[in-house]
Amino acid sequence: MDLGQISNAIGSVLEVLVAVCGAFVLAFWLAIIIWTWRDIRARSRDVFAAVLALVLVAIFPLVGLMLYLLLRPKETLAEAYDRALEEEALLRGIEEQLVCPNCNRVVEKAWQFCAYCHTQVKKGCPSCGQLLELGWTLCPYCGNPANVPKVRSQQELPPPGVVNPPAPRPGELSVTDLPVVE
């Protein structure tokens, strides 16, 4: 074995090493590009941004990847969708709270009148007693008409046209004590 054969052997070993390293770097580069493509597609619908990220990472594999990691959208599309759903549910919960139309304070679902300003917010069904919205004309629970709103102030006031007779002063005869003249 002379010097030439030894150098040839070293040369072929080096060639193999370079080839293996080159293949490894190539595979790594391709893996970074594929990962970036998948990641940007999960985070953005913008095709232009996706291609830009891809080109950046393909031309400058390590620096480009670092830049991409710094600049990419924080949320994936699935995360953004979940957050939107949560916000919607939260909003619906707020909307479901009943509010007095007069004073805007929260009223319980079982209240017929606002506890703060005494405005009627619901009416009881005259047939079955279930609480109904003021605008309903039919009770959905028993099927009877429910278009007569029971307003408390009207119950307390005497019907119009009827005036109570004045109470008799002491020592004076009241109207009912007078003899009836035929």
- Single out the residue of 19, 142, 147, 151 in contact with Zn ion (rule: CB under 5 A): 142
User: Which one, of 51, 56, 76, lies nearest residue 66 by Cα?
Assistant: 56
Check binding of 50 to Zn ion (CB under 5 A): no
- Single out the residue of 88, 109, 116, 151 in contact with Zn ion (rule: CB under 5 A): 116
Query: Which of positions 74-113 make contact with Zn ion (CB under 5 A)?
Result: 100, 102-103
Check binding of 32 to Zn ion (CB under 5 A): no
Pick 36 or 120: Cβ nearer Zn ion: 120
Q: Report residue 44 as tokens.
A: 């953005």
User: Which one, of 131, 129, 109, 105, lies nearest residue 119 by Cα?
Assistant: 105
Sign of CA dihedral 108, 114, 119, 122: positive
Residue 43 contacts by C-beta under 8 Å, 6 or more apart in sequence? 72, 73, 75, 76, 77
Pick 8 or 127: Cβ nearer Zn ion: 127
Pick 57 or 114: Cβ nearer Zn ion: 114
Residues lying near Zn ion in the complex (CB under 5 A): 100, 102-103, 114, 116-117, 119, 125, 127-128, 139, 141-142
